[in-house]
């Protein structure tokens, strides 16, 4: 069983992704943050206290306060990863965004929304194998 963190401000997407994740019987806990700043600060505290960090992070790019890019930059600057696997999950199909995401060594893949159950199963298979 794995822990998953979703960093996304779209409540409908978060709800759907949570339902799909829960239905896989592979996910123990799902934590949701509405922006990158909230996620970064909370995950930093959990890490500092020796708490349990997620194995997978799904990160949206377009959010208020701190978008996904700022979250990634702060992780890079502070040399934080917070998870074994980080997937950029966005509605953007802009080739510049895809290239930019590839510049971050912590980003495993750039996945476009909507995420289908089959794609999610492939991601989980990769991460849990």
What are the domain boundaries of the chain? 2-124
For residue range 73-113, list pLDDT tens digits in order: 999 998 888 999 999 988 888 889 889 998 998 899 989 88
Taking domain 2-124, whether its CATH number is 3.40.50.2300 is answered by: yes
Model pLDDT, residue 72: 96
Q: What percent of the chain has pLDDT over 90?
A: 65
Q: What percent of the chain has pLDDT over 70?
A: 99
Q: Average pLDDT of 32-49? A: 96
pTM for this predicted structure: 0.94
Buried b (16+ CB within 10 A) or exposed e, 106-125: bbbbbbebebeeeebeebbe
Cβ-proximal residues to 114 (8 Å cutoff; 6+ apart), any chain: 13, 16
């Amino acid at each position: 069983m794995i822990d998953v963190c979703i960093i996304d401000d779209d409540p409908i997407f978060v709800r759907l992704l949570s339902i799909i994740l829960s239905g896989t019987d592979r996910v123990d806990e799902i934590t949701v943050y509405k922006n990158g700043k909230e996620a970064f600060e909370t995950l930093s505290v959990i890490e500092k206290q020796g708490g349990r960090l997620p194995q997978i992070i799904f990160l949206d790019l377009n959010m208020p306060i701190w978008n996904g890019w700022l979250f990634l930059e702060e992780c890079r600057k502070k040399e934080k990863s917070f998870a074994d696997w980080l997937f950029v999950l966005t509605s953007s199909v802009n080739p510049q965004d895809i290239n930019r995401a590839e510049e971050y060594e912590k980003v495993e893949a750039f996945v476009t929304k909507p995420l289908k159950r089959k794609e999610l199963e492939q991601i989980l298979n990769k991460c849990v194998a």
